[in-house]
Amino acid sequence: MPAHIIDGKSIAAAMREDIARRVQLLPEDQRPGLAVVLIGEDPASMSYVTAKERACTAAGMHSEDIRLPVSTSQQDLLQLIDELNNRDSIHGILVQLPLPAHIDPDAVIHAIDPCKDVDAFHPENLGHMVMGSPRFLPCTPHGIVHLLQKADVPLAGAHAVIVGRSNIVGKPLANMLLQRNCNATVTVCHTGTRDLASHTLQADILVAAAGRPGLITPDMIKPGAAVIDVGVNRITDTSRKRGYRLAGDVDFAAASAVAGWITPVPGGVGPMTITMLLENTLRSAIAAADNEDPINVP
């Protein structure tokens, strides 16, 4: 029996409708505001920032799209972040990564007010997450957990294997899955892992987040497992108008014959990342209206 396809696009659409409804309940002067800062003209980043801006507008949020030249200095960027930190109309600040080589991403992440850090990259927010009392949850991992829950994939007692240990996906997702509300047993694999397949074949939940197209083949998947493909890789394809196609880290067609659940690329995890960004921004706005820390917003 072919795998059940977890439709991230439709799940995200339903969530965004609910977010838009909740936004409309707020007074106009409390409308959530998200500032997205992009430095340079990386095509993938530009496309992603545009998608975020459209999602904000559709949800009734204020979106401030700030695009700066690649020559922007670190000092100028930090001054901009300080200004946004102090602007009452802005509830979320996102600086699109990667940054030019002359700018230290850690300095930028540390500079963002933790109560406006809707990407949840600030060390203070990561600490709250690890302690099990999150202010915000990182968007992509939060989206993955939500997809698993909506698809009724059993989490408690499941063995989750994550391929990839990035600060954006692998590490925070591992922590989220082992929290008591998920209660999974977690293995994290990476470039130093020996015999990757011996680990992936044990997974009830397999998350591929390595950024390597086709890394996970059907012979590496436990029959009936839930397979979450986080990879978004551009593959040259002259038959396409844009000259490329998107592919995940999983051989989707072949894996679908083995897995119990699977996410497509595109249309799986991607739409959930932006949706969780909107959710975090809304929570920040609600907290600001009540003069509270977002950690206290349900």
Q: Which residues of 23-48 are buried (b: 16+ CB within 10 A; e: fewer)?
A: beebeeebebbbbbbbbbebeebeeb
What is the pLDDT averaged over residues 105-111? 97
**Can you point out the beta strands (E) in the chain?**
4-5, 33-39, 62-68, 92-95, 159-163, 185-189, 205-208, 226-229, 233-236, 244-247, 261-262
Does the annotation count 119 as an active-site position?
Answer: yes
CATH number, span 139-270? 3.40.50.720
The pLDDT-based confidence of 226 (bands split at 50, 70, 90) is very high
pLDDT at 238 over 90: no
Collapsed DSSP state (helix, strand, coil) of residue 44? helix
pTM (2 d.p.): 0.95
Where are the CATH 3.40.50.720 domain residues in the chain? 139-270
What is the pLDDT averaged over residues 213-225? 97
Of the residues 116, 117, 119, 204, only one is catalytic, namely: 119
Does the annotation count 52 as an active-site position?
Answer: yes
Does the annotation count 241 as an active-site position?
Answer: no
Of the residues 7, 9, 24, 52, only one is catalytic, namely: 52
Where are the CATH 3.40.50.10860 domain residues in the chain? 27-113
Per the annotation, where are the binding residues for NADP(+)?
Answer: 164-166, 232
pLDDT of residue 118: 98
The pLDDT-based confidence of 64 (bands split at 50, 70, 90) is very high
pLDDT digits (tens, 9 = 90+) for 27-58: 999 999 999 999 998 887 888 889 999 999 99
What is the pLDDT averaged over residues 171-183? 97
What is the pLDDT averaged over residues 79-93? 98
Sign of the CA dihedral with 183 first, then 169, 150, and 56 last: positive
**Helical residues (DSSP H) of 4-137, grouped into ranges:** 8-24, 43-58, 74-85, 105-111, 123-130
Average per-residue pLDDT for the chain = 95
pLDDT of residue 134: 96
Name the CATH architecture for the domain at 27-113: 3-Layer(aba) Sandwich (3.40)
